[in-house]
Amino acid sequence: MDILVVSPEAGNWEAPSPLVTAVNRMTDAFGRAGANVLTCSPFYKDHLMHVENYECIFQGVERLQGKPFEVWKSKSDPLHTYIFNEDYFGRPHVYGPPHSVPYGDNHRRFAFLASAALSYAIETKVNYTAILGHEWGGALAGALTHTVYQNEFGNVPFFFTIHNITYDFHVGSGEIDAIGLPREDYNMDGYEFWGKVSLLKAGICYAHKVLFPSPGYRDAMLNTNLPGGLSGFLSHNADKLIGVQFGVSYQVWDFNAQDKLPIKEAKHKAKETLAKKLGSNFGNKLVLYVHLDEEAGNTSETLATVLSDITKLDVFIVVGLSPEHPEWNYFNDVSKQYPDTMKVLELTPNFESISTLRGALAGSDVLFAANLREPSSSIILKALACGTLPLTGFNVGVASSLDDYAPETAGNANAFLVEDANAPHLMLRRLKDALHVYQNEVADWDKAVVNAYSGFHYEWDRTISKYLLILGELGL
């Protein structure tokens, strides 16, 4: 099977974004499954590692805007193909300066990316089975197969992966022709959004199937009142929407892969290591890890509401966040008030933070994750890979794959779930339940840890096997 992939971010980045990580893992898994994948993304010289190892292997002119493009490759990065045009991708930022207005021509930049990728795909002489676009930056690949590339790709199905539905780019209707959209579909049932063009809706409009990063996220999108009439549009296209759980790389997140100790011994060792790193003494307390990043949703607010109550329990709280987080000073101040109960773990946006996070998860007993905004809930999968039980809501993306603890389900349990993770009192009550099991039902607790660590594995290969099954069901 030959698949063309178009993504606004992918490849060998120095500091991979969540989108880069997901696309890279999927590309790797497609390869392991025997698929031939051409993954095209912009050649961002300021973001890639070892730029000096790349060389231009092809020069051409794409059809949509008539602009020249270059294709760059590296022997050390064989699975990725990069598209370059100095005007569009020679800029220091991907979408625009941080915390500022995005580049005003982003729609043209990523229409160019899709057009150049399709142009290069023609040059490879490969008969592609499917085209896969990621996020709004890869959405226009589907539309272009209905316009300027219809002769070559008109019969090739387009699959659109939405990693996070809150990300979109809107542009005036005067740009419709410039980005290769069929003008007749500029309406509420097409890609029109409050009098503008929505690239996200365009991706959905021309997709055979729309893939979300978890079944729970797909269901939530159909049952959430999204702004601007988007809810009705999704409901109208419900038959297209499929939730496929994104995986995690166990080579990265399995803390015990090298030592292969019995899980109880491995957790004890990891807890000692974390305590030493923090300069703390956990004693016999349940260690509760709280991860605060841009995908943490209302976790910070929920924790703050019940923090005083938690400090009165036999619980040690570890809050992981970066100094740039708006609540950095608050949680540091609280940790100084309760030095025997709480510590802040500094996270930095680099490879070292992966090791730090893995160590924090492995050394903790419970992950406190209230109303995650991250659609794939990967922090929960990472916790499970570290034998750490998630305390979260039934409505998080991955919850349908979790087994809630109850005395009668103790043999299968791997999580503590609540009806509404936005409700601080429910999270506190369930934490008390977890603490009771930890202290008084030791056999149940140990079994739940084994279930989390050994019984629940969701590799990227499993994700891609479902992608390929979806393609196969269409006769591809």
**pLDDT tens profile 55-89:** 999 999 999 999 999 999 999 999 999 999 999 99
Looking at 377-423, list the stretches that DSSP marks H as alpha helix, in order from N- to C-terminal side.
Answer: 378-385
List of residues 6+ apart from 401 with CB closer than 8 A: 215, 245, 456, 458
Same domain, 392 and 378: yes
Q: Alpha-carbon distance 206 to 8, whole Å? A: 18
pLDDT of residue 372: 62
CB atoms within 10 A of CB 95: 17
pLDDT of amino acid 202: 98
Do 265 and 225 sit in the same domain of this protein? no
Indicate if 352 and 451 belong to the same structural domain. yes
**In which residue are the tokens 């703050």 written?**
304
- Domains held by the chain: number: 2
For residue 455, what are its two tokens? 């019984």
Element (H, E) at 291: strand 286-291
* Predicted pLDDT of residue 141: 98
- Continuous segment of H or E residues that includes residue 160: strand 158-161
Concatenated DSSP letters for 362-428? HT-SEEE--S---TT-HHHHHHHHTT-EEEEETTSTTGGG--B--GGGTTT--BEEES-TT-HHHHH
pLDDT for res 352: 61
Both 291 and 349 in one domain: the answer is yes
d(CA 315, CA 366): 10
For the chain, list residues with pLDDT below 70: 226-228, 349-352, 371-374, 376
d(CA 454, CA 387): 8
Identity of the residue numbered 443: A
Q: What is the DSSP letter of 102?
A: P
The CA-based angle 174-176-179, given to 5 degrees, is 125
Exposure letters 191-224 (e unless 16+ CB within 10 A, then b): bbbeeebbbbbbbbbbbbbbbbbbbbbbbbbbee
Cα distances from 216 to residues 211, 374, 377, 403, 450, in angstroms, run 12, 11, 10, 14, 24
Cβ-based neighbours of 140, under 8 Å, separated by 6 or more: 110, 111, 114, 115, 133, 179, 180, 181, 199, 202, 203
Q: What is the pLDDT of residue 398?
A: 82
Report the C-alpha gap between 215 and 200 in whole angstroms.
Answer: 19
- Please report the pLDDT score of residue 350 as a whole number: 58
- Retrieve residue 26's tokens: 């999927």
Are 287 and 189 found together in one domain? Answer: no
Task: Name residue 173's amino acid.
Answer: S
Residues 353 and 450 in one domain: yes
Residues 329 and 385 both lie in one domain = yes
Asked whether the beta carbons of 263 and 453 are under 8 A apart, the reply is: yes
Domain limits for position 191:
2-247+460-473
* Residue carrying structure tokens 């680099």: 350
CB–CB of 466/211 below 8 Å?
no
What's 389's domain CATH number?
A: 3.40.50.2000
Task: Clarify whether residues 438 and 467 are in a common domain.
Answer: no
pLDDT in tens, 334-358: 999 999 999 999 998 655 688 999 9
- Indicate whether 292 and 211 sit together in one domain: no
Q: Do 289 and 232 fall into the same domain?
A: no
pLDDT for residue 98: 87
Judgement on whether residues 208 and 314 belong to the same structural domain of the protein: no
- For residues 147 and 153, give the distance between their C-alpha atoms in angstroms, rounded to a whole number: 10
Question: Measuring CA to CA, which residue among 374, 441, 370 is closest to residue 411?
Answer: 441
Q: Do residues 215 and 239 both lie within one domain?
A: yes
* Contact criterion met (CB below 8 Å) for 167 and 201: no
Among 63, 57, 52, CA closest to 118: 63
Cβ atoms of 177 and 183 within 8 Å: the answer is yes
- The DSSP secondary-structure symbol of 344 reads E
pLDDT, tens digit, 9 for 90 and up, residues 122-167:
999 999 999 999 999 999 999 999 999 999 999 999 999 999 898 9
Distance from C-alpha of 9 to C-alpha of 182, rounded to nearest angstrom:
26
What does the radius of gyration of the chain's CA atoms come to, in whole angstroms? 23
- The pLDDT of residue 293 is 84
Q: CA-CA distance, 164 to 373, in Å (whole number)?
A: 9
Please count the other Cβ atoms lying within 10 Å of the Cβ belonging to residue 453. 24
Strand order in the sheet with 170-171: 170-171, 196-198, 192-193
CA distance 90 to 44: 7
